Structure 1
Amino acid sequence: MKDKDKVASLKSESELHLRKAEVFLKKCSSSKKEDENVNENKLSICFDFQKNLPLPVTHVTDEYYLKELWLHNFGIHNLKENSATMYLFTENYAHKGPNEVITALDDYFLYHKIPDQTHLEILSDNGFSQNKNRFIFTYFDQLSAKGLFKTISVNYPIRGHSMMSTDRDFALIERQN
């Protein structure tokens, strides 16, 4: 009897988990330009870091494995325009933390934000050290205080269900190698 209760409980938890993941994926797809209900005043973006890409410094096998230089790629995908912007830098120049995220977002808004876009919707993974910390939220608060955006909403998916447009952008890059 207890096994049946446990199985029923696990099934309901799994179903709830999948419904929550589906809500996030619908939010990602609802911001596309083809959707007639898209708010023209809203800038919808998702962003993430790609996995570290190795840059071989030498072709000597022993040195290759000892002296790899890592390339970091931070991608921002405009969901409405279906366009990607990449920010590349090596590990000796910068790390993968909130400073780099804020710098890339600031540059993106400077060059890609249309003045009519007064609402910002952000979809990002749950990476605490990069996307979910006090520095990022202070930056969002400053964007609002400066009048760049009237509203800012940040959405995080359930762990394991963050297949965002940036992931597809990164897959295209990796396929080229």
Structure 2
Amino acid sequence: MTYTIGITGHRDIHPGVYEEIRGLVSTWLDEQINAKGADLKLLSPLAAGADQLVAELALEKGIELYVPLPFPVERYEKDFSHEERNDFYRLLEKAACTIELPTQPDDPSSYLAAGTYVAQNAHVLLALWDGKKKPELTGGTSHIVRCRMNGFPDETPGRKNRDVYWIRTARTTGFIESPKLQHITSYSDIPDRKEG
């Protein structure tokens, strides 16, 4: 059976912790390979930041990449800077599969659709997240983590796959905090985090 990893996370990882985050992700992926065997796949929409970082490392380790797209490629590429766009296309070329979700080209809820697809179709979700629950943006990292753990509005009751591994990830707009990997089992156990 294929074991599926999903990624959700921030686009703006602070450069001061980027290499440390990269190391934690690499180690965590190695642990997944050792525990689950070689038949792994990653679901990543390939947004800049966390999605592309984890996809890059997964591919290096021989994990297949599946890309659920929030928009058609021609529209999605407009979300990226020139460098991010080059990285997006480089990773997309290496994907085993792309999944075009039935979304509208300029509908912001398309990001929610992609995040929901990842969270609902993964055995485990890796979140590169600063841990802040507020403000919760629709389709943002905290929203996807909360729904993964507490259930999505349209989800069948009794769903068992709730595992989330969280790497505390500083953002360019926040203060720098040492990255830390945690296995979280309840959204309510995550303390509300504020700047400072």
Regarding TM over 0.5, the answer is no
Length-normalised TM-score, structure 1? 0.40
Length-normalised TM-score, structure 2? 0.37
From the two aligned structures, give the one with the greater strand fraction. Answer: 1
Q: Find the structure with the greater CA-based Rg.
A: 1
From the two aligned structures, give the one with the greater helix fraction. Answer: 1
